[in-house]
A = this chain, B = another copy of it.
Amino acid sequence: MTSNNAFYAQSGGVTAVINASACGVIQTCRKYSDRIGTLYAGHNGIIGALTEDLIDTSLESDEAIAALRHTPGGAFGSCRYKLKDIETHRSQYERLIEVFKAHDIRYFFYNGGGDSADTCLKISRLSEHMGYPLQAIHVAKTVDNDLPITDNSPGFGSVAKYIATSTREAALDIASMCSTSTKVFILEAMGRHAGWIAAAGALASETNDGPPHMILLPEVPFDRQRVMAHIDAAVKKHGYCVVVVSEGARYEDGTFLADAGNTDAFGHRQLGGVAPTLAGMVKQDLGYKYHWAVADYLQRAARHLASAVDVEQAYAVGQRAVECALEGKNAVMPAIQRDSEDPYSWSIIDAPLERVANQEKFMPAEYIREDGFGINDAGRRYLRPLIQGEDFPPFENGLPKVAKLRLERITKKLPEYHL
Q: Which residues of A come within 8 Å of B, CB atoms?
A: 10, 13-14, 16, 44, 47, 71-81, 161, 164-166, 168-177, 179-181, 185, 187, 203-204, 262, 264-265, 270, 272-273, 275-276, 289, 291-298, 300-305, 307, 384, 387-390, 392, 395, 397-400, 402
Can you list 28 A-B contacts (CB < 8 A)? A13-B177, A14-B177, A16-B169, A44-B179, A73-B175, A74-B173, A74-B176, A74-B177, A76-B176, A77-B176, A78-B179, A80-B177, A81-B180, A166-B298, A168-B399, A169-B303, A169-B400, A172-B301, A173-B300, A174-B297, A181-B264, A262-B289, A272-B292, A291-B297, A293-B296, A294-B294, A387-B398, A390-B395
Q: Of the candidates B293, B303, B399, which one forms a contact with A298 in the assembled complex, judged by CB atoms under 8 Å apart?
A: B293
- Name the residue on B nearest A73 (C-beta): B172
User: Is A389 touching B398 in the complex (CB atoms < 8 A)?
Assistant: yes
The residues of B that contact A398 with a CB separation of less than 8 Å are: 161, 164, 203, 307, 384, 387-390
User: Is B270 touching A78 in the complex (CB atoms < 8 A)?
Assistant: no
The residues of B that contact A397 with a CB separation of less than 8 Å are: 384, 388
The residues of B that contact A298 with a CB separation of less than 8 Å are: 166, 169-170, 187, 293, 295, 298
- Name the residue on B nearest A187 (C-beta): B298
Min Cβ gap A118→B in Å is 16
User: Is A302 touching B384 in the complex (CB atoms < 8 A)?
Assistant: no
The residues of B that contact A399 with a CB separation of less than 8 Å are: 161, 164-165, 168, 203-204, 387
In Å, the complex CA distance between A204 and B73 comes to: 15
Min Cβ gap A171→B in Å is 8
